[in-house]
Amino acid sequence: MAPPAASRWLQTYYFARAAFSVAWVAAAFTIGKNSPPIAAVLLVAYPAWDAFANFVDARQSGGLSRNPPQALNVVVSVVTATAVAIALGHGMNAVLGVFGVWAGLSGLLQLATGLRRWKSLGGQWAMILSGAQSTLAAVFMFKDSFAPAAPSVTHVAPYAGFGAFYFLVSAVLLTVTLRRSGVSFESPDSIALP
């Protein structure tokens, strides 16, 4: 088992990722689906957040050089946020195609990260499953990007919703593991970020 500080960090990180995804899905289904400018902001913000989150997690977990899948995920997500911004000028089908490619790449990188952490940290089976499912979702999003009907921001929401579910499961599993080992949950404010 990893040191408690590493497990507490991941616990906080997974809860934060789940909370962001839930908020993103709620925004997509409420204000995003009726406001193209807000939908555009949401669509760029999602991969941008992923880049930021992976960067912070990699830094907290030994640095980017010690976490190559996450370092690459940062680059892929930054490129994706930029590509989404450009694709918005070409229509939602193009945006969904970009999201499909990103879901596949980031899913494989998340799968690699989960496998690397498997031996030392709890809760990784959910991250591994999430990475695999993300790769599968990529196929459907990319296929739907060629549909005659233009998709909307709500076509990306199920992908984000499943991500929230898996991050929440991982956070809860780590919470249980830490409690069994006698380590209590620390609020995000009590954990120093780099």
- 99 residue type, one letter: F
- pLDDT: which is higher, 124 or 97: 97
Distance of CA 92 to the CA centre of its chain: 21
- Measured CA to CA, the distance from residue 137 to residue 156 in angstroms comes to 10
**Does 194 have pLDDT greater than 50?**
no
Please report, rounded to a whole number, the percentage of residues in the chain having pLDDT higher than 90: 45
What was the pLDDT predicted at 80?
97
pLDDT of residue 149: 83
Contact 106, 84 (CB under 8 A): no
Q: What pLDDT does residue 7 have?
A: 76
Give the chain's mean pLDDT: 85
Q: Which residue has the tokens 């976490």?
A: 67
Tell me the CA end-to-end span of the chain in Å, nearest whole number: 23
Structure token digits, residue 171: 């956070």
pLDDT band, very low/low/confident/very high, at 191 (cuts 50, 70, 90): very low
State the pTM of this model.
Answer: 0.83
pLDDT at 16: 96
Burial label, 45 (beta-carbon count in 10 A; 0-12, 13-18, 19+): middle
Distance (Å, rounded) from C-alpha 75 to C-alpha 52?
10
Residue 192 pLDDT exceeds 80: no
pLDDT per position as a tens digit, 101-160:
999 988 888 888 778 777 666 557 777 777 788 888 888 888 888 888 878 899 899 989
pLDDT of residue 141: 86
**In which band, very low, low, confident or very high, does the pLDDT at 193 lie, cut at 50, 70 and 90?**
very low
The residues, any chain, with a CB within 8 Å of residue 76's CB and separated by 6 or more, are 102, 105, 106, 109
